[in-house]
Structure 1
Amino acid sequence: MGENIETRISDNHIYIRTPGRYAMGLAIELLNFFDQQIDYSVKNTGWKNGFGLNVCERYPVVSSNLTVEFETDGEELEIHLASGGLDSFADFVNLVQGYVNEQNT
């Protein structure tokens, strides 16, 4: 990717900034990544047909004990914990950070 992706994490929120490019591309890459994981399901799949994402609309990703929602706006991607335990969210955060770190090199 080339640019330095900035990530901030709180107890129930991941904030990712992609300087110099729209965050929608990274959001779609992450949605695709989680869609391929056995433990996760992406509930809105219109992005698979090349329609992209609607700005400021939330896209749910669920597992058996977690629901998070992806939302983009310009250079920002936010992932909100909608339901589930903080331990499950911490596992999810580790997956996101690993993916972002891989893309950031």
Structure 2
Amino acid sequence: MRQPALRQTLKPVVNRKKKAAAVELLSESELMKCIEDLCNSKAEEFRFYGYENVTGEQVWACVSESYRRGWPRLNRLVNDILSLKATRFMNWLMVSVYKNPGDQ
């Protein structure tokens, strides 16, 4: 299943967060790198549990799917990534495979 590049899908989050006072300490590229590292870290955790083919892009797609009304604050975004459970991720993965059967 082909997922969009993680850095491209992070653009709206970073652009919104540039206006927040706490995020002004980080540049746009540093913030994108931090979020990307979080997603890759969560994917590595899933691989440690035995889910071998999990990528950071898939983790980001799973987490960001719930942001239909707009992007949340940075602290919620980080919490959503770090608290993602393997069962929720695998459920999302199965539903996405059924929605897009040709993207395997």
The TM-score, its normalising length taken from structure 2, stands at 0.29
- Specify the structure having the higher radius of gyration (Cα): 2
Between structures 1 and 2, the one with greater strand share: 1
Between structures 1 and 2, the one with greater helix share: 2
The TM-score, its normalising length taken from structure 1, stands at 0.29
